[in-house]
Amino acid sequence: MNRPRFLQRVLMLLAAALLLLSEVPGRSWTGDSDGTDGLVSPQERREARERVERSTILALVDAHQRSADEGWRRQLADVIYEESIAAGVDPLMVAAIVAKESSFRSRVVSRKGAVGLMQLRPFVAREIAERRQLKWNGRETLRRPELNVRLGASYYKQLVERFERDPRLALAAYHRGPTRVRRQLSRGTFGDSRYARNVLGLYQRLDARRRNQLLQRG
C-alpha cells in the first residue's frame, strides 16, 4: 500500500466532511463535547445571550433592592435591558451606571438636582428628549424608569461617540460633565476618575459573569 497516498485520501475525505458541516444553512459548528451535535444557530446564540444578560441585570438589582417587590425588581431589570438594547448600548454597562448612580432607586434626587435611576439633570435630559422627540414633563419624566433609562442610555452613547469611543472618558464626562472633561483634556489636567474606574470595574465583573455563563451553555 502506498502510505502517503492513503493518508492524502483520508485527509481529503475529512476536509470534504467538514465542508459539508459548514454548509448547513443558518448553523455553525461549535465542537461541543456534551453529547449534542454541536450545532448552534445565530438565533439560538442571540436568545442565550439575552437570557444571560437579563438574569445578570436582575441579580444586580436584587443585590441592591432585596426588600423591594420581586415583580418590581424583575420589571426594572427588563426595562434596563430593553431600553439599553433600543439605544444601542451594552445593557450591562447601563446596569453598572444605574447601580453606581442610584442603587436602582427610581425617585431619588441628588443635592445637585439629578433625578432618577441614571441621575440625569433636567436640562441635560430635556435636550436629549427634544432630540429624540419625546414628550417632556419636567422632573416627572425622569421619575418614570423606562424614560429615565431611555434618556440616560442615549446620553451615555452620545458621550461615547463624542469622546472617541473611550468608555473611561465617556463615564468621566457623564459624572463631571462633558464641557469640563473636554476643557481638562485640552489643558492636560485631566486626572483619574474614581467614578469611571468604579463603574468600569463593576461592568467588567458583570461582563465576566456573562462570558462564563455563555461558555457553560455552549
Q: Which residue has the higher pLDDT, 27 or 89?
A: 89
Contacts of 176 (CB under 8 A, 6+ apart): 193, 195
Which of 144, 152, 107, 142 is CA-nearest to residue 122?
Answer: 142
Whether the per-residue pLDDT at 6 is higher than 80: the answer is no
Task: Give the chain's mean pLDDT.
Answer: 88
Q: Are 207 and 101 in contact (CB under 8 A)?
A: no
Q: Which residue has the higher pLDDT, 9 or 162?
A: 162
- The average pLDDT across 154-170 equals 97
Contacts of 44 (CB under 8 A, 6+ apart): none
Whether the per-residue pLDDT at 213 is higher than 90: the answer is yes
Whether the per-residue pLDDT at 218 is higher than 90: the answer is no
pLDDT of 134-143, one tens digit each? Answer: 999 999 999 9
Confidence (pLDDT) at 180: 96
Give the CA count within 13 Å in the CB-facing half-sphere of 171: 22
Q: Are 92 and 153 in contact (CB under 8 A)?
A: no
The architecture of the domain spanning 42-217 is: Orthogonal Bundle (1.10)
Percent of the chain scoring above 70 in pLDDT: 82
Domain positions in the chain are: 3-39, 42-217
Whether the per-residue pLDDT at 14 is higher than 50: the answer is yes
Least confident interval from 32-41, 123-132, 202-211:
32-41
Confidence (pLDDT) at 24: 43
Whether the per-residue pLDDT at 122 is higher than 60: the answer is yes
Q: Are 71 and 182 in contact (CB under 8 A)?
A: no
Report the largest interatomic distance among the alpha carbons of the chain, rounded to a whole angstrom: 86
Whether the per-residue pLDDT at 26 is higher than 50: the answer is no
Whether the per-residue pLDDT at 153 is higher than 90: the answer is yes
Whether the per-residue pLDDT at 121 is higher than 50: the answer is yes
Percent of the chain scoring above 90 in pLDDT: 79
- The average pLDDT across 82-110 equals 97
